[in-house]
Amino acid sequence: MKKAQIEIMGLIFIVLIVTIAMLFYVSNSVKDDLNPGIDQFKTYANSELSMSFIEVFLDTSTCGTNIQELIVDCAKSKQIRCDSKTSCEQVEEVAEQILEDTLILWQVPYGLVIEYNSFTNYTNATEDCMPGGQIKGKYPPGRQPISLYPGTAMVELGICVS
């Protein structure tokens, strides 16, 4: 081969290497651009799961009333009795049963907190989801305030998927 042909082959080889390197760079930057959309979807889905769970939980019927009314009674007067249990005990029992049948069964890490007038009255969480009593997680927790007048009860559920 002549010297000019060898130089052209070398240039073609260099162009191929540069093209392959650019192809890897472009494919990796496209993958990075797609991740924010996936992350936004996960944030939305986990937020919706939290809020839907709370809404269904509060509307769950038990003892001729719903959980929301039991929470109000537990925070105020504790007059409602259900199968020899106070309203507070009934809320805890129903919460544990619903969590067992849903989030625990689905293996979704969670933290559930029910507060009355800024005092935590009920907490249930999977391991490492609530260090120091605060729900830890990448996604914002769902919150539902309940008017007690005077005061407020707060039901909060956080999904702790990282």
- Tell me the per-residue pLDDT of 110-148, one tens digit each, with 9 for 90 and over: 888 888 876 667 777 777 676 555 666 656 778 889 998
Say what the pTM is: 0.69
pLDDT category of residue 70 using cuts at 50, 70 and 90: very high
Tokens of 24: 């890897």
Residue 13 in this model has a pLDDT that exceeds 60? yes
In angstroms, the CA 98 to CA 103 distance is: 8
